[in-house]
Amino acid sequence: MSESPGSPPPLGRKPGWLKVSIPAGDSCRSMSELLRRRGLHTVCEGARCPNRGECWGASTATFMILGATCTRGCRFCAVSRASSGDPLRPGEAEDLAEAVAELSLAYTVVTSVDRDDLDDRGSAHFAACIRAIRVRNPRTRVEVLIPDFQEGEIEPVLAANPDVLAHNIETVERLQGLRDARASYRKSLTSLRLAAASGKVVVKSSIMLGLGERKDEVLAAMDDLRDAGCTSLVLGQYLRPTLAQVELVEYLSPQAFADYGREARERGFVSVVSAPLARTSYHARSSFEASPAGSAEKGATMATRRLDRKVPGGKLLRVTVETREGLVVKARVEGDFFAHPEEAFEAAEATLAGSPESGLGDAAMKAFSRPDLRIFGASAQEIALTLGLALDTGPRAEDPA
């Protein structure tokens, strides 16, 4: 007999609504290969996130910077821990920016382990990663999920201009002992309040449910978050990663999450994700789009230009260029030619995202002339010219974003 979605099952048996498939498929393999190649980490792996199959299948991920070793010992977390973290990699920011470009991400989330062993606890490195993504991928929205940075630490992160700043209170005030002793409910609220006071970012937080919290405590936490200036809230089911972590107390039903979501919206949260499998970065892009800043962007117009053109030798090139507000969002080149290796050609296409419309030809010439790429049946000059012509004279279709 299957469980009713209106009532939680016994703790000895995981309910059907929490069962997810193991990550598999080409997208997942590509993501794993990219992470290894660039020496990057994801919280999807480190925290054993239940959504990594869905997210990786869509070629999205939450990147984890500052190494894979945390200096704190929260009782619900499966990330590796030690008194000192991994040595900082000087090229991590650039590798991260290149990975975002290679995946053609329109929205990316960057988080980290806690690094109490560093003088600034890693805030300058956070800021450098945001700036690198911005420079390499100007149209990519950036969300950061930060440690409990305080005054003197959070300012560099805010100055790098992320679109969303998230920090999790994790659980209700009474259960804060599940976190590392260096963390606290009030300290986390201070981080959120500092972010909200800047007026620059959407402020977001998350609460795990099923740890023994009472409903009145959850509602009080919502009120505290709103008072701190938080406008985006995520509520999800705690799932015990391994036997080393704190025990689960209760499975909440989907209806309970729906009820909490309604309570949050009634309290003025602009964006609410409340579901058993919800995590801070799950559906992060849709959460941002629900905010005033995201709604304004969503109202912008996307222009799509397409052009077919014969090049010397009778070969046909077909190009599609998507632009928004004078910048290239995506460029696609197809036709009667052969490119080797295919991955290098796709990477060349990806590098065009963020180029100004007026400079697409020059950017394409540089991208398709890369030394690791061989093109037969068309030249880099012909591809660059065709892309430029698509913007100048190609058929244009206006589609709402």
Higher pLDDT residue, 321 or 55? 321
Average pLDDT value over all residues in the chain: 83
The amino acid sitting at 309 is: R
At residue 185, the pLDDT reads 97
Q: What's phi and psi for 61, nearest 5 deg?
A: -165, 160
What separation in angstroms does the CA of 213 have from each of 170, 310, 313?
11, 67, 71
Decide if pLDDT at 48 tops 70: no
Alpha-carbon distance of 96 to 192, in angstroms, equals 25
Q: What pLDDT band is residue 342 in, cutting at 50, 70 and 90?
A: confident
Decide if pLDDT at 396 tops 60: no
At residue 105, the pLDDT reads 79
Alpha-carbon distance of 262 to 208, in angstroms, equals 17
Q: Residues of the chain with pLDDT > 70: what percent?
A: 78
At residue 26, the pLDDT reads 55
At residue 398, the pLDDT reads 43
Q: Residues of the chain with pLDDT > 90: what percent?
A: 45
Average pLDDT in the 52-65 region?
63
Average pLDDT in the 127-135 region?
94
Q: Which range has the worst mean pLDDT, 163-177, 277-291, 300-314, 381-395? A: 277-291
- Cis, bond preceding 162 (omega within 30 deg of 0): no
Alpha-carbon distance of 362 to 351, in angstroms, equals 12
Q: Which range has the worst mean pLDDT, 38-42, 43-47, 134-138, 342-346? A: 43-47
Average pLDDT in the 23-40 region?
62
Q: Which two tokens stand for residue 342?
A: 């295919």
Dihedral sign, Cα of residue 239, residue 117, residue 37, residue 344: positive
Alpha-carbon distance of 351 to 87, in angstroms, equals 29
Q: Which range has the worst mean pLDDT, 70-84, 183-197, 333-347, 350-364? A: 350-364
Average pLDDT in the 65-90 region?
92
Decide if pLDDT at 212 tops 60: yes
Q: Which range has the worst mean pLDDT, 92-101, 189-198, 204-213, 336-345? A: 336-345
Alpha-carbon distance of 172 to 349, in angstroms, equals 47
Question: Chain-centre distance of CA 245, in angstroms?
Answer: 26
- Cis, bond preceding 341 (omega within 30 deg of 0): yes
Average pLDDT in the 161-190 region?
96
Q: Give the pLDDT confidence of 5-28 residue by residue, as tens digits.
A: 555 556 767 887 776 555 555 555
> Which strands make up the sheet holding 271-274, listed edge to edge?
41-42, 62-65, 107-112, 141-145, 164-166, 202-209, 232-237, 271-274
Q: Give the pLDDT confidence of 296-333 residue by residue, as tens digits.
A: 665 566 688 888 888 888 789 999 988 876 778 788 89
